[in-house]
Amino acid sequence: MSRFPNARKLASYAGLVPTVSQSGGPAKLGHITKEGSSELRAVMIQVAHIASQPRTKNADELRAYLERIRGSRGRRKIALTALARYMLSIAYHLWRDGTEYDPERMRCNTIN
């Protein structure tokens, strides 16, 4: 746990955070950095693909999150990458707190 003090640091390690271009003005967010563990990034993208399938049980909240992001961004690949980062964040918090995944608890975060 001491290696990753928060979920953002873990997402950065996985290369699932956007690049930031800033030179005195407003920050512009670009594509993902692809720095860090390519294996972890690939696994999380595959997990997001699996969770996005209709036949996956107990993933309704994750699919709702995916569709919400897809509606605002327009492209499925961008939404899948966002879902991968979101799921990595969930995994981090479950690991940190020693709790089990509760879809009902996640529902309040995905319906906005």
* pLDDT tens digits, one per residue of 34-79: 888 899 999 999 999 999 998 878 788 888 889 998 887 678 888 9
Write down the residue that tokens 């972890």 correspond to.
40
29 pairs with which residues across the strands?
A: 20
Token readout for 71 is 């509606």
Q: Is residue 85 over pLDDT 60?
A: yes
Q: Is residue 21 over pLDDT 50?
A: yes
Within the chain, what is the greatest distance between any pair of CA atoms?
Answer: 47
| Mean local confidence (pLDDT), 9-33 | 86
Q: What is the pLDDT of residue 109?
A: 55
**pLDDT > 70 in the chain, percent:** 92
Closest CA to 43 of 103, 75, 91, 105: 91
Write the CA distances from 111 to 29, 39, 47, 101, integer angstroms: 24, 31, 21, 17
Are 59 and 68 in contact, with CB atoms under 8 Å apart?
Answer: no
Are 69 and 112 in contact, with CB atoms under 8 Å apart?
Answer: no
**pLDDT > 90 in the chain, percent:** 45
* pTM as predicted: 0.82
